[in-house]
Amino acid sequence: MKIAVIGTGYVGLVTGTCLAETGNDVICVDINEAKVKKMQDGQVPIYEPGLDLLFHRNIAQDRLKFTTDLAMAIKDAQIIFMALPTPPGGDGAADLSYILGAAKDISKLITDYKVIVNKSTVPVGTADKVRAVFSENTDVEVDVVSNPEFLREGVAVEDFMKPDRVVVGTTSERAKKLMAELYGPYVRQGNPILFMDERSSELTKYAANSFLATKITFMNEIANLCELVGADVDAVRKGIGSDSRIGKRFLFPGVGYGGSCFPKDVQALVKSADENDYHFAILKSVMDVNEKQKTILVEKVLKYYANNVQGKHFALWGLAFKPETDDIREAPALYIIDALIKHGATLTVFDPEAMANVKALIGDKVNYAENAYDALENADALLIVTEWSVFRNPDFERLESTLKNKVIFDGRNLYDLEKMIDLGYYYNSIGRKQIN
Ligand code: NAD
């Protein structure tokens, strides 16, 4: 099939590349000229494991192209995907200007039937709004489909190639047939393509992300309580996770959820509920709790130093909002850095992939280390914020000889408590006994 993908971010680029991988002809469009130039020159603009290989293979086989020319990209496309930003507007509701703007541009260019697929996360009713834009500007027939994306950054290629499910919101039989054909190769193992109406499909995405954000937040509160009552959150986690109704995944406590999706999607769903006179109590609490959890490590640090970190220097491992990505949008590390600097501390940071993005955002507010161990030079303590695998089994001898003091604040519970006792560390993690 001939496909156009508008927007080449984490979702658009993965979607375009993975659709090319099954033999489709894909043209990706972006307004960011520098980014398009980079991709035309054969460079992947984001870090996403496994994307490189597919990207280069499909470019080489002429199935994957990049352009800033919307008209050229959509001319022959049967299906046009929109993978555009939907950031929070001033009031917390999703800002639909990218989607509606692109819809308007497309509507003025098309001359034959197209399926317009919205991959962005959007509030209920957006498909109707997009449809209205088309009817205002063209007589050409279109079907507007909601097809939310569930990929996780860090395993996005795997998630796209073998999704747990594909959700397609449409009542058009014609669009349904094309979408079933397009997604067929990705669900060969038998995972479902769930067809539903557009509104249910739009809400499914928000419900999924909000449920996951709630699950993490619940565990963060259990962890906080564990510390107060002398329980171990790891034991509690395993104790509840082995109940199949609860499940083992997404039960790891930490420094709060971040990223480009959960914070904005929870907020947008609350806003949608408000607009419909529904008080979504649980999600409002989730937002409040997460706000506090983002700086829980700072609270622990301040408590340890009797509220005075003036002149202290910290090493910080992990900047990305989660491992295996360079994405730092709403990353807890940024809040932690900001709070510690406000309290008069200095930091040297290290992340395997996200350093350039942080540098571009906050410049020389912190020092950047060449590797994890260099970050420890002259540091009074180490803070661990992102659970990159490389931090899981460090050379503790090197740690001991480089850090000024054997003090670790671990926001991701990477180390065994017994081991930290043996090694003689002060070790403060989340929801577990504090080791002195
Ligand atoms: P992103 O910010 O990484 O990428 C958006 C891209 O769109 C950018 O490259 C930008 O230059 C481009 N763009 C903006 N306006 C444009 C226009 N008019 N024409 C062409 N290109 C334009 O965003 P993302 O993380 O890929 O997210 C896109 C959508 O998918 C959002 O609604 C998000 O909530 C949703 N989503 C994201 C994820 C994720 O993990 N990132 C997962 C599922 C769903």
Is 212 domain-assigned?
yes
Dihedral over Cα of 321, 326, 328, 334: its sign = positive
Closest CA to ligand 1's atom 38: 11
Task: List residues forming the annotated binding site for substrate.
Answer: 150-153, 205, 250-254, 258, 322
For the CA of 94, the closest atom of ligand 1 is 32
> What does the alpha-carbon distance between residue 298 and residue 38 come to, in Å, rounded to a whole number?
39
Q: What is the structure's pLDDT at 72? A: 98
Q: What is the structure's pLDDT at 300? A: 98
Same domain, 87 and 13: yes
Is 433 domain-assigned?
no
Q: Where does ligand 1 bind, in terms of residues with CB under 6 Å?
A: 6-12, 29-32, 35, 83-86, 98, 101-102, 120-121, 149, 151, 153, 260-261
If one counts every other C-beta atom within 10 angstroms of the C-beta of residue 303, the result is: 11
Q: What is the structure's pLDDT at 97? A: 98
Is 104 domain-assigned?
yes
Nearest to 203 by CA among 119, 124, 277, 305: 124
Residue with tokens 């498909």: 127
Q: What is the structure's pLDDT at 67? A: 98
CATH number for the domain harbouring residue 269: 1.10.1040.10
- Residue 154 tokens read as 């860090």
Looking at 10-50, list the stretches that DSSP marks H as alpha helix, in order from N- to C-terminal side: 10-21, 33-40
Q: Are β-strands 346-350 and 313-317 bridged in parallel, bridged antiparallel, or unpaired?
A: parallel
Q: What is the structure's pLDDT at 76? A: 97
Q: How far is the CA of 13 from the centre of ligand 1 (A)?
A: 9
Is 435 domain-assigned?
no
Strands (E), 237-326: 313-317
Closest CA to ligand 1's atom 29: 120
Question: Best mutation site among 5, 13, 30, 267 for ligand 1, i.e. most ligand atoms within 8 A of its Cβ?
Answer: 30
Same domain, 249 and 339: no
Same domain, 221 and 182: no
Question: Best mutation site among 261, 264, 330, 357 for ligand 1, i.e. most ligand atoms within 8 A of its Cβ?
Answer: 261
For the CA of 29, the closest atom of ligand 1 is 20
Q: What is the structure's pLDDT at 28? A: 98
Same domain, 176 and 284: no
Same domain, 264 and 153: no
For the CA of 6, the closest atom of ligand 1 is 20
- Our answer to whether residue 261 is catalytic in this structure is yes
Domain boundary among 196, 224, 258: 196
Same domain, 355 and 279: no
Q: What is the structure's pLDDT at 376? A: 98
Domain boundary among 143, 161, 196: 196
Dihedral over Cα of 187, 191, 197, 203: its sign = negative
Interface predicted TM-score of the whole assembly (ipTM), two decimals? 0.99
Q: Are β-strands 25-29 and 64-67 bridged in parallel, bridged antiparallel, or unpaired?
A: parallel
Q: Specify the number of domains making up the chain.
A: 3
Same domain, 89 and 181: yes
Look up residue 343 and give its DSSP letter.
T
For residue 25, the SS3 value is strand
Strands (E), 277-369: 313-317, 346-350, 367-368
- Walk along the chain (436 residues) and give the pLDDT tens digit of each residue: 999 999 999 999 999 999 999 999 999 999 999 999 999 999 999 999 999 999 999 999 999 999 999 999 999 999 999 999 999 998 989 999 999 999 999 999 999 999 999 999 999 999 999 999 999 999 999 999 999 999 999 999 999 999 999 999 999 999 999 999 999 999 999 999 999 999 999 999 999 999 999 999 999 999 999 999 999 999 999 999 999 999 999 999 999 999 999 999 999 999 999 999 999 999 999 999 999 999 999 999 999 999 999 999 999 999 999 999 999 999 999 999 999 999 999 999 999 999 999 999 999 999 999 999 999 999 999 999 999 999 999 999 999 999 999 999 999 999 999 999 999 999 999 999 999 9
Domain boundary among 239, 264, 288: 288
Task: List residues forming the annotated binding site for NAD(+).
Answer: 30, 35, 86, 121, 153, 264, 329
Same domain, 16 and 158: yes
Is 379 domain-assigned?
yes
Is 105 domain-assigned?
yes
Closest CA to ligand 1's atom 41: 10
Closest CA to ligand 1's atom 12: 7
Q: What is the structure's pLDDT at 358? A: 98
Compute the radius of gyration of the chain from its Cα atoms: 23
Same domain, 229 and 103: no
Catalytic residue among 18, 28, 226, 261: 261
Same domain, 284 and 298: no
Q: How far is the CA of 262 from the centre of ligand 1 (A)?
A: 14
Closest CA to ligand 1's atom 13: 7
Q: What is the structure's pLDDT at 367? A: 98
Residue with tokens 């067809």: 195
Same domain, 182 and 130: yes
CATH number for the domain harbouring residue 332: 3.40.50.720
Same domain, 49 and 170: yes
Range of the domain at 352: 294-428
Looking at 22-155, list the stretches that DSSP marks H as alpha helix, in order from N- to C-terminal side: 33-40, 51-60, 70-75, 97-107, 126-137
Percentages (nearest 5) of helix, strand, coil residues in the chain? 45, 15, 40
Q: How far is the CA of 8 from the centre of ligand 1 (A)?
A: 7
For the CA of 120, the closest atom of ligand 1 is 32
Is 434 domain-assigned?
no
Is 324 domain-assigned?
yes
Please tell me the number of Cα atoms within 13 Å of 261 on its side-chain side.
23
